[in-house]
Chain A
Amino acid sequence: MLRYQQFIVTKHSSHPVILNKESRKTPRAVNVDLQSDATLQVDISDALSERDKVKFTVHTKSTLSNFKQNEFSVVRQHEEFIWLHDSFVENEEYAGYIIPPAPPRPDFDASREKLQKLGEGEGSMTKEEFTKMKQELEAEYLAIFKKTVAMHEVFLCRVAAHPVLRKDLNFHVFLEYNQDLSVRGKNKKEKLEDFFKNVVKSADGVLVAGVKDVDDFFEHEKTFLLEYHNRVKDASAKSDRMIRSHKSIADDVNRIASTLYTLGTQDSTDVCKFFLKVSELFEKTRKIEARVAADEDLKLADLLKYYLRESQAAKDLLYRRGRALVDYENANKALDKARAKNKDVLQAETSQQVCCQKFEKISESAKQELIDFKTRRVAAFRKNLVELAELELKHAKGHLQLLQSCLGVLKGDT
């Protein structure tokens, strides 16, 4: 039974849509705006974390006739999501769309390592300390777990919300086929192939990007996205570091609270009351600090990470268009040459037409996609920044109240 909350923004609404997910047992509270996606609603209703893999239960509700039922669920693993994403990327038909970025691989390594270390160090600490640390690590594990579920869900929802991608056959198979898709992760050879492909692609990308675009809109977008992507990357890294420091502080305060408690119980003088009261206070405030870190992570770091990936996807779109443009121009040149030599003219003409169509098709949809990207981005940032500020305020006020009440008691005692 997992509860998690996240954000997605549909293509058609200008306001963010919040989907509250609860466990299957309770009714799903959905807050949709304007265009209801009743035709196709996808979510991850459950997830199970096993030793080295996570099993997601993908739940679909649809009125579309393609599906055999109106409501059904399947179990999918991370590799299957990647397979789906890659199939979109490789599909020429979708060249003109921003492909929703693939969710990152679930990474429990750090958490698992910590849990293991804790197990090893069990002998060296008191029972209370051990239980406390265990609880914390479990909470951390749960948080990472929730995040990975959220990211996989966002991917699916984006696909479901896209007017073209939602019709994709692979997508339907993914949603409906309740057997294992027999998709295996890439083996070493394939990973190496991918690596080379990427190298070639980035080299090509530089070439293509160097070509000045006639269209102002796209030229502007190119410059903008390049810079934006880099800066988001930087901001994402810095926000991660900031949040890690916050977590460290919460851990320190936790240790301080424990030691103060011991001091308080040991001390025979007047000051023992102080120690105990402050220990109690720090126990509570450290929880708040941990929540602040977690909320910043969710509202700020995750936001930046997501838009890092999306801006990359947008860049990829621009690259494809640029590539198509270069191809088109080359085809034009080839046609001219063929006409001049009067050799293979028909072939050249067909080739040129194909390139032209391709290019125009991409350009048309790309423009809309990029505009939507901006809309989504602005809305998501707005929502998250507002929520971030509200949560920071809430926590600070709670923290302040605890401090003041403790001070009141202590000052009264002296």
Chain B
Amino acid sequence: MKNSREFQNFYFENDVVRQVVIALPRHKVAHFTLNVYDNMAEGEEPMVVDGGNGDRSDWQGQWDHVKKFLERAGPFTHPDFEPSTESLQFLMDTCKILVIGAGGLGCELLKDLALSGFRHIHVVDMDTIDISNLNRQFLFRPKDVGRPKAEVAADFVNDRVLGCNVVPHFKKIQDLDESFYRQFHIVVCGLDSVVARRWMNGMLLSLLIYEDGVLDPSSIIPLIDGGTEGFKGNARVILPGMTACIDCTLELYPPQINFPMCTIASMPRLPEHCVEYVRILLWPKEKPFGDGEALDGDDPKHIQWVYQKSLDRAAEFSITGVTYRLTQGVVKRIIPAVASTNAVIAAACATEVFKIATSAYVPLNNYMVFNDVDGLYTYTFEAERKENCSACSQVPQDLQFLPSAKLQEVLDYLTENASLQMKSPAITTTLDGKNKTLYLQTVASIEERTRPNLSKTLKELGLVDGQELAVADVTTPQTVLFKLNFIS
């Protein structure tokens, strides 16, 4: 290999290890070397790429556009960049990219990566195709409705871009483990859920190795994250453990605002209030489609029922503006989406993947927002790490409470604090040398058993100053440790 710092092969427990130079903000760290194990997830077959590096699938000029950036020196490249023909071989033969989500951003990302020279791409998505995806998820056709997104997307790209090998996983991200995630050089997220983003962020953080409190840079898998809503979007680059992570900037995702129950129940003013009344209060009461039939936003019969009842409710209060479209929007919490914004954000993300994988340029540092409602506007800034981030800081988390505070208050704090925003935290601790669940919501029988604890004070529960509480939540694959500090 040509450059020891850039791409170096050596052997470690029979695994090929690749080194990729990552450019970092100049004022922070000039650069560091990232070792990424090219190891297979257990039980997985090694990937075979059609034609490998030449012959059948390639043709004259195929990579001419990409090569100019890899085989030529330039004034704006990363300081460690060395032009060579091997960079393209690295992209095509070795570099493994994971795309999370095969929706609006995911479809674009797969195309963008495949046409940038990447061939070993995995994609994870738990969803199946809905007709409302077709206005932007361009790898899907009406005949594909109902089929798994990951599989249809992978087939389409593999078929269109010869030599590309996209491997689909029709799964939840939570159903794949560390050994799966560890095999990738770079992860790109195209998700519409903050919880899933945080989980992915937490997973990559859990793969970090610290020796004597010092981060081993070779354990870092860069995370490129994109998000869109209507005509707005953002793209960001995260080097887990080194630059601001998803949880460092949780305040950027404002918690979802729900209408107060008293508004819904007794003083509606907006058409949305009427729909929420039907969804939350009337549906469970009237059970229009039988006992146990949950409201399905994709079932037109269900939406039709909610729509009619919402109209009745609105008429009762002289509220106007309930439509079928609005009803569906409220029930499914629909976020508007167009092809164009997804194309822009995915493209920016894919450019960053290319920069990191090739060190052809210094990557984005580290956050770009985009809005094209009024003209075209972008803003690029450096999101800062949060010193005591509960996900990435390695700083023990303190909880300050009076001994007379009730467990419910601790629970509320975990869900409502802007920098924690947990969803259904499960709290356990060690009492008298035994593991004890103080509260757990996700299993009905345990919830019932532990519910009385919520109205007990911390003191009554036998907790002491300095007590360690382990909190598990859907927002992270790891439990978060908190130290309880009694204030007086």
Q: Do A and B come from one complex?
A: no
Residues of B within 8 A of A (CB): none
